[in-house]
Amino acid sequence: MDSIIKNREGEEMISTRQERALSFLYESVTGRVCLKVVNRRSAAKLVGKYMNSRLSRGLIDRFIEKNGIDMSVYEDRDYKCYNQFFTRKLKPECKSVCMESDALVAPCDSKLRVYPINDKSIFFIKDSPYTVKELVKNEKLAKEFRGGLCLVYRLSVDDYHRYIYFDDGAKGANTYIPGVLHTVNPISLDKYNYYKQNCREYTVMDTEHFGRAVQIEVGAMLIGKIKNAHGACKYRRGEEKGMFEFGGSTVVVLLKKNAAVIDGDIMANSGEGIETIVRIGERIGTAGRARNTKYIKTQTV
């Protein structure tokens, strides 16, 4: 099925090629058998070695031309392999982050959809349905976000694959959850059947303007790697949090009830099942009533 996305001006855009490939891989028996083969550790290592070798350099120019990527906004570099190109960095002057104190900003270039969180909420990441509990594998943590919002930022292969902190704050250690793949018998999640869950890594964050939040990076089933730059630490809005190496990727942010008010166009699109194109550092909403006064107090002492 074609996926409809819109830019912030309300213009519709159709994404088809990537969705068709995913549909084949995850919705057909043949595709799932293929996935089972390529997801073997030996196959993943082989592909990973290729993407990190000079042999993969030939893929770069074709990819740039095919996807119309403007390389003038990225740091000049002689890429030794495809993975170096895939994790390319924006020039400092081309990276704009809204620093208004009450602004909620996008942590990455992506297609955004927002879901309300309640006991029956199911949202889709890489064509697989999740509850918050399934996503973080932590029932106690999941319960904290009932009544809140789940922001799903889906990155395409041509997007910038580095992500930032969306507010000032402090974070705990990163928790890694390995992915799983079911090739024959689906696992039932209410009325849905799913065949896969991607590897992911999450951290609990105490943010200055949005209270307690969780950010989750979701990697690819194949060889995509999540590379977070920090463990437990304090951080500033706009500081680079990490990057994805080759493979599809998604960033998910969980916000508590009343923590933020998302812009109307994004909420309207989300209600219709439409993703909205957002850019790293772009304002997508404002702070709500859940300002983290505890964090502010500790920072001003």
Q: Helices then strands (H, E): number in the chain?
A: 9, 23
Among 56, 109, 128, 159, the active-site one is 109
According to DSSP H, which parts of 72-131 are helical? 82-86
Among 56, 128, 249, 270, the active-site one is 249
- Give the integer Cα–Cα distance in Å for 156 and 177: 22
Contacts of 264 (CB under 8 A, 6+ apart): none
Q: Rg of the chain over CA atoms, in angstroms?
A: 19
According to DSSP H, which parts of the chain are helical? 17-27, 29-38, 41-51, 58-67, 82-86, 132-136, 139-143, 264-271, 293-300
Q: How far apart are the first and last CA of the chain?
A: 54
- Tally Cβ neighbours within 10 Å of residue 293: 10
Backbone angles phi and psi of 155, in degrees to 5 = -95, 135
Has 110 been annotated as catalytic? no
Query: Which residues, listed in sequence order, are joined to residue 188 by a DSSP beta bridge?
Result: 193
Has 249 been annotated as catalytic? yes
The catalytic site residues sit at 109, 249
